[in-house]
Amino acid sequence: MTAAELVVDGLGMQFEGLTALADVTLRVPPGEIHGLIGPNGAGKTTFFNCLTGFYRPTSGAIYLSGQRIDGLPPHVITGLGIARTFQNIRLFANMTVLENVLVGEHQHIAVGGTDILSTRRPTYPPIVERLLVLRGFPRAALNGIIEIAGAVARPPRVRAAEAAAVDRARELLAAVGLRGRENDLARNLPYGDQRRLEIARALGTRPALLLLDEPTAGMNPQEASSMVGLIRRIRDEFATTVILIEHQMRVVMGVCESITVLDYGRKIAEGPPAAIQRNPTVIEAYLGTRAIQGGGHAAP
């Protein structure tokens, strides 16, 4: 897949009385590494959750390479090319490292039956939409039967698909530096490797846009700088656009080509790292004068 362009137009997310996101407009060109920063509770993760279909935005629109995706279910959005990692690592802890990546490859293992990947955006009230699902039911049931039959009989085509998926999973694991850990349980990996595995699993979905939620959280400076190298390499080798949420300023300023700053759910600034560092609104809202002068987030 080639890197995708992301356009977000007036995105709003309202939880009861709480406005998590308000009128966020953003354009990330294909192949850019884009930083998303802001104080805790600024709405960064909510923004990711809207992009991936975990939340249905209450206003605005999201376009991935021109196609409108807000309101689509998560697995469909993943199929269209958005993959993500999680702030609090959420691996399939009791599955092996290899199997974690294989789950990421789920939609790319041909097994006869295809998933219902209706990319139609819902236009009716939820209850009606749920009934409309039944329309596709006969086809889905047939696909299910074909998939089960394929898994049980395991014809050459299914074996080949499985073998190819395993090969690709091994490649991805090698790319993030997890060669040799394929058969370990995910939960037995050290912390930094778990973050790498999350990235490999996300790459398994063949993303055109990769969302990384604090990829260096809890890492020491050395690990963080190796993660920066990895993120650059991923963008180049796998041809993806990358958006990362990050708190370590050294990382943000080092890897991002452009940065968006959120505060209280609103976009307060956007621009290249150097401009953001000098932006008075950002300094006031988030970084604080001393942090900027220190050049790192742990400045005294």
Residue 2 Cβ vs another protein, minimum distance, rounded to whole Å: 18
Per 3-state DSSP, what percentage of the chain is helix, strand, and coil (rounded to 5)?
Answer: 45, 20, 35
The site for another protein, by CB under 8 A, has a size of: 48
Residue 205 Cβ vs another protein, minimum distance, rounded to whole Å: 5
Of residues 15 and 288, the one with the C-beta less far from another protein? 15
Contacts of 238 (CB under 8 A, 6+ apart): 203, 207, 210
Of residues 86 and 264, the one with the C-beta less far from another protein? 86
Contacts of 117 (CB under 8 A, 6+ apart): 76, 79
Of residues 140 and 283, the one with the C-beta less far from another protein? 140
174 near another protein (CB under 8 A)? no
Task: Give the sign of the dihedral formed by CA 172, CA 222, CA 87, CA 39.
Answer: negative
CB 210 within 8 Å of CB 84 = yes
Of residues 150 and 271, the one with the C-beta less far from another protein? 150
Among 205, 248, 258, 260, binds another protein (CB under 8 A): 205
Of residues 207 and 265, the one with the C-beta less far from another protein? 207
CB atoms within 10 A of CB 172: 23
Alpha helices (H) in 38-190, listed in sequence order: 44-51, 74-80, 97-104, 126-132, 137-153, 156-175
Q: Which stretch binds another protein (CB under 8 A): 146-154, 216-224, 249-257, 272-280?
A: 146-154
Of residues 118 and 289, the one with the C-beta less far from another protein? 118
Query: What is the distance between the alpha carbons of residues 99 and 186, in angstroms, rounded to a whole number?
Result: 9
Query: What is the distance between the alpha carbons of residues 237 and 249, in angstroms, rounded to a whole number?
Result: 25
Using DSSP's 3-state secondary structure scheme, residue 268 falls into strand
Contacts of 140 (CB under 8 A, 6+ apart): 116
Query: What is the distance between the alpha carbons of residues 263 and 21, in angstroms, rounded to a whole number?
Result: 9
Residue 214 Cβ vs another protein, minimum distance, rounded to whole Å: 16
Compose the 99-128 pattern: x for residues touching another protein by CB under 8 A, - for all others.
Answer: x--xxx-xx-x-x---xx------------
Of 43-102, binders to another protein (CB under 8 A) are: 52, 54, 73-75, 78-79, 83-84, 86, 90-96, 98-99, 102
Residue 175 Cβ vs another protein, minimum distance, rounded to whole Å: 18
Residues in contact with another protein by CB under 8 A are 52, 54, 73-75, 78-79, 83-84, 86, 90-96, 98-99, 102-104, 106-107, 109, 111, 115-116, 133, 140, 144, 147-148, 150-152, 154, 158, 162, 166, 182-183, 185, 188, 201-202, 204-205
